[in-house]
Amino acid sequence: MEKIIPYQDLYVYEIAGEFSDSKNFFKEEFIGCWNEGEVSCLFFSAPHGEEVQVFIQKRGFRLLSNNVMDYKSWQAGEELKPFNVGNLIISPPWESCNVEEGDILVHLDPCVVFGTGYHPTTRSCLKALWEIYQKEMPEIVLDLGTGTGILALAAAKWGAKRILAIDCNELAVETALRNVRLNGETQQIEVKKGKAEDFIKENADLVCANLHFQVIESLIRQASFFEKKWVLLSGLFVKDAEEIERQLNLRALHTFLKIQEKNWLTWAGLKN
């Protein structure tokens, strides 16, 4: 496999405005665009201040800030190294690791997208997903807020036949697609750009949603949410998760397991 070297320094330009065609304008050393509400962040691996200025003047945007940081700082000081969940070894493509008999290697390039596996919510989701697949094998999975595609890839390796991975962010979709191809899972995993609420009606045995509390609240207001046999939720602070759990228990989703790490709680439920 071709060795992929991680980024050394990140040049981040924060812009007031949202757009989705940045790759048509920026080419060299452009990592991607992260949209967050009405603010967008352009990521480069080298300085591109003049080019960004031309871009925002043409589009009528406003530069809010520009920052330089090393890649490790962007990843909250974490040195990305291989780690195990169940029989998976999840490793950055640029790291070498020993794979023993029975282990499955997943190469994950997080780019600058959420979902390295180091955050408590992602790590707990992986652990919960492994426990679900030890009890049963959901074949159709809906992964809402896929980020890097890490949960979709884990589900595929553990036996899911079809996974629809959704994210509202352009850069997350690009990153997840790249990881799906990197791991040879294009037949099983489809990645699409969109809002979680617009895809909850999709048929699935299991829905994974590592999302903001407000988005999860909107999901559970839809009847189609309760048509899924398995539910895996994260991105929730403990108090919020307890309220969500109470509401779901009342709607015939009983608690399969809970994993608390620091102030975060991941909840998995099974339809009665």
Is residue 30 domain-shared with residue 124, that is, in the same domain?
A: no
DSSP symbol at 236: E
Distance CA(184)–CA(126), nearest Å, equals 20
Distance CA(235)–CA(259), nearest Å, equals 12
Is residue 130 domain-shared with residue 42, that is, in the same domain?
A: no
Can you give the CATH number for the domain in which 150 is found? 3.40.50.150
CB 74 within 8 A of CB 44: no
Q: Which of 50, 74, 98 is the last residue of a domain?
A: 74
Distance CA(61)–CA(267), nearest Å, equals 41
pTM: 0.91
Is residue 188 domain-shared with residue 58, that is, in the same domain?
A: no
Q: Report yes or no on 242 lying in a domain.
A: yes
Distance CA(238)–CA(168), nearest Å, equals 25
Rounded to a whole number, what is the largest CA-CA distance in the chain? 59
- Ramachandran area for residue 252 (φ above 0: left; ψ -120 to 50: alpha; else beta): left
Distance CA(168)–CA(196), nearest Å, equals 8
Q: Report yes or no on 17 lying in a domain.
A: yes
Q: Which of 49, 74, 99 is the last residue of a domain?
A: 74
Its domain, for residue 61, covers 9-74
Is residue 168 domain-shared with residue 236, that is, in the same domain?
A: yes
CB 173 within 8 A of CB 167: yes
What is the reported pLDDT for 6? 63
Cβ count near 124 (within 10 Å): 23
pLDDT digits (tens, 9 = 90+) for 85-126: 999 999 999 888 889 999 999 999 999 998 888 899 999 999
Residue 69: what residue type? M
pLDDT digits (tens, 9 = 90+) for 124-141: 999 999 999 999 999 999
State which residues of the chain have pLDDT below 50: 1-3
Q: Which residues contact 196 (CB under 8 A, 6 or more apart)?
A: 144, 145, 166, 168, 209, 211, 215, 219
Is residue 62 domain-shared with residue 158, that is, in the same domain?
A: no
Can you give the CATH number for the domain in which 35 is found? 3.30.70.100
Question: Considering only CA atoms, which of 130, 179, 154 is closest in space to residue 4?
Answer: 179
Is residue 135 domain-shared with residue 187, that is, in the same domain?
A: yes
Question: Considering only CA atoms, which of 173, 163, 73, 70 is closest in space to residue 113?
Answer: 173
Work out the mean pLDDT of the chain and round it to a whole number.
92
What is the reported pLDDT for 3? 47
Query: How many Cα neighbours within 13 Å face the side chain of 221?
Result: 9
Domain count, the chain: 2
Name beta bridge partners: 16. 39, 62
CB 179 within 8 A of CB 153: yes
